[in-house]
Structure 1
Amino acid sequence: MSLHRPAAVKNMWVSIAQSRFMTPHAFQYYCAASGIFSSLLFFLGFAAADFLPPIKPWWTAEKTAEHYQHHTHRVRIGASMIALSGLFYMPFCAAISSQMRRVPNLHYVVQQLQLSAAAAGLWTFVLPAIILATTSYRPERNPEITQTLNDFFWICTLMPWQTFMVQNFCFSYAIVIDQRSKPLFPKELAIFNMIIPFFWTASTGIHFTKFGPAAYNGALSFWFLGISFCGQLIIDAVFLLRAIHSEPEGGEQIVDMFPNRLPKGDPEVAPGKDI
């Protein structure tokens, strides 16, 4: 049973649907710009929680708990901002996946691997935010519990870089194999996305030490990782916006590669059929 709507209401919805803010291009622009918002929210979340610079891993349980007791509201705000950064991360990755499909003869497993790694990487935003929110929920608790949750937050935030490396390598692969005279992305962006993940690998061993550049507050495990990660999101988003701008308004043919497609004349293909 359809609802009867006045003509003015129908015209309003038609006007909204045909608005330039609702075009496929506009939607992709929103998704690409989400990478910038994700980066800024992630950075500002740490700033809000007074984690720039990070608290020290060698602090006693009492001193660690004191930080959460004195900055309870700031930590709670920071946790919310870090969680929201994950909200913007997924549309950004979906826009990358969509533009990767425009590359001729790109095997669909590359695009699917990039998108599935993005879905897994979302938890690198959400889970630490949940842990941080839990830590700040009862700051008056036993200091040793607060210290344990604090360690859990930093390790969960900095250690899981692997899914992002997979994303970068898939994106770089798509850029490299695009040999058209006017490729979607410059080859320098592929080199950039292949090099940046190696700045993150030092965080693999943050649970081995509480001092020095490899600790969770150190130059390698925190500063290099954080700056390169947030900076990469912004740079990729800018080039993604340019790629979207080059897409025809009416869309273009997507070239998929199907490994199960057998050539004509293959004995496994039944006569008169093209699989």
Structure 2
Amino acid sequence: MHRPAAVTNFWANLAQSRWMTPHAFQYYCAVSGILSSALFLFGFVAADFVSPIKPYWSAEQTAHHYRAHTNRIRIGASLIVLSGLFYMPFCAAISSQMRRVPNLHYVVQQLQLSAAAAGLWTFILPGIILATTSYRPERSPDITLALNDFFWICTLMPWQTFMVQNFCFSYAIIIDQRKKPLFPKELAIYNMIVPFFWTGSTGIHFSKYGAGAYNGAITFWVLGVTFCFQLALDAIFLMRAIHSEPVGGEQIVDLFPNRIPKDPEAGASGSRTGMGHTSFLDHTSSNGASMAKDE
């Protein structure tokens, strides 16, 4: 397909601009963590759910709140769903930076990213439920009450995938023993401690009163504040790690990071491969070394 020279030059200049560099793209992903946190919070503010409605309200009281704040709740539902859009790029950037840690087995990085993909629905599904609840506010109050309970339980009860993410991220930080690690060890401690503040929501369905209810101090305020603050804090340190990455990229750890170069058993197994032959591991390592020289 023939294109005018001006169009070709435009796309060429755009591709070579500083806004399209690998560093820039990673910065966009890192900032997405802050945007995800902010949109999730503003969704609750827009829906007039800060502080939350009372779990012990009757069906008529709950339905009245949805009728009186229908448009605000619909806006809040849209913001909550939209927050999930920015969560995945943020987690992908963390996974990418984790790959830079020497001797980090790829299962750690993959587990972090898999947990992020599952945790994405903790943003999207509650927003969809809230949108459904506000879609027909004139329906039977009993149905509205049931959907309202469904929304709060789906929002606050699933913390497990986020704990897996935090532990994988903390593990990568801890084993990075270089003089200039990507992330400070204090960030690992914070990411390991914070998930335990979320576990109180496991029993959210046992109570309609007090700190354990979905409007309580443990299940809403502590969980919400620590979760949103953690996303913003991790995003800031993630941007620092991205800034330290060489412009031309850097060599990622070996395909087999658990292999010890001077392991006697490795040498013995190498001798068993026969004269004039090398093992697959040695072949991989030599390829990696030659690639590094070429770079």
Report the TM-score, using the length of structure 2 for normalisation.
0.90
Tell me the CA shift for residue 65 of structure 1: 0.4
Structure 1 pair 190–269 and aligned structure 2 pair: CA distance change class (3 A): farther
Letter in 2 for 1:253: Q
Letter in 2 for 1:263: A
Tell me the CA shift for residue 270 of structure 1: 3.9
For 1:274, which of 251, 261, 279 is the aligned residue? 279
Letter in 1 for 2:31: A
Tell me the CA shift for residue 76 of structure 1: 0.5
Equivalents in 1 of 2:236, 2:266: separation in Å? 40
Deviations 1:68-126 (A, max 9, x none): 00000000000000000000000000000000000000010000000000000000000
Q: Which residue of 1 is the match for residue 205 of structure 2?
A: 207
Q: Which residue of 2 is the match for residue 66 of structure 1?
A: 64
Letter in 2 for 1:16: L
Structure 1 pair 227–5 and aligned structure 2 pair: CA distance change class (3 A): same
Contact kept? 2:40, 2:80, Cα under 8 Å: yes
Contact kept? 2:37, 2:228, Cα under 8 Å: yes
User: What is the correspondence of 1:213-224 to structure 2 with a 5 Å cutoff?
Assistant: 213-224=211-222
Equivalents in 2 of 1:270, 1:145: separation in Å? 70
Equivalents in 1 of 2:197, 2:207: separation in Å? 18
User: What is the correspondence of 1:234-273 to structure 2 with a 5 Å cutoff?
Assistant: 234-258=232-256, 263-266=266-269, 270-271=273-274, 272-273=277-278
Tell me the CA shift for residue 258 of structure 1: 2.2
Deviations 1:148-168 (A, max 9, x none): 000000000000000000000
For 2:181, which of 165, 180, 183 is the aligned residue? 183
Structure 1 pair 25–160 and aligned structure 2 pair: CA distance change class (3 A): same
Task: Find the residue that maps to 1:106 and give its secondary structure.
Answer: coil
Equivalents in 2 of 1:88, 1:103: separation in Å? 24
Equivalents in 2 of 1:274, 1:153: separation in Å? 56
Structure 1 pair 256–168 and aligned structure 2 pair: CA distance change class (3 A): farther
Select the structure with the greater relative contact order (CA < 8 A; seq sep ≥ 6).
1
Letter in 2 for 1:178: D
Q: Which residue of 1 is the match for residue 18 of structure 2?
A: 20
Contact kept? 1:264, 1:274, Cα under 8 Å: no
Contact kept? 1:32, 1:240, Cα under 8 Å: yes
Report the TM-score, using the length of structure 1 for normalisation.
0.96
Equivalents in 2 of 1:137, 1:256: separation in Å? 53
Equivalents in 2 of 1:12, 1:130: separation in Å? 40
For 1:87, which of 74, 85, 95 is the aligned residue? 85
Equivalents in 1 of 2:229, 2:236: separation in Å? 11
Equivalents in 1 of 2:23, 2:256: separation in Å? 27
Contact kept? 1:117, 1:164, Cα under 8 Å: yes
Tell me the CA shift for residue 274 of structure 1: 2.1
Equivalents in 2 of 1:190, 1:75: separation in Å? 36
Tell me the CA shift for residue 264 of structure 1: 4.8
Equivalents in 1 of 2:200, 2:85: separation in Å? 27
1:36 aligns with 2:54: no
Percent of pairs with identical residues: 76
Contact kept? 1:128, 1:156, Cα under 8 Å: yes
Runs of 4+ in 1 over 2 A off after TM superposition: 256-265, 267-271
Equivalents in 1 of 2:248, 2:62: separation in Å? 56
Q: Size of the alignment, in residue pairs?
A: 273
Q: Which residue of 2 is the match for residue 7 of structure 1?
A: 5
Deviations 1:180-231 (A, max 9, x none): 0000000000000000001100000000000000100000000000000000
Letter in 2 for 1:119: A
Contact kept? 2:103, 2:258, Cα under 8 Å: no
Contact kept? 1:64, 1:147, Cα under 8 Å: yes
Equivalents in 2 of 1:7, 1:232: separation in Å? 48
For 1:112, which of 107, 110, 115 is the aligned residue? 110
Contact kept? 2:105, 2:258, Cα under 8 Å: no
Equivalents in 2 of 1:15, 1:111: separation in Å? 34
Once the two structures are overlaid, the 10-residue window that deviates more, 132-141 or 261-270, is: 261-270
Letter in 2 for 1:62: E
Larger radius of gyration: 2
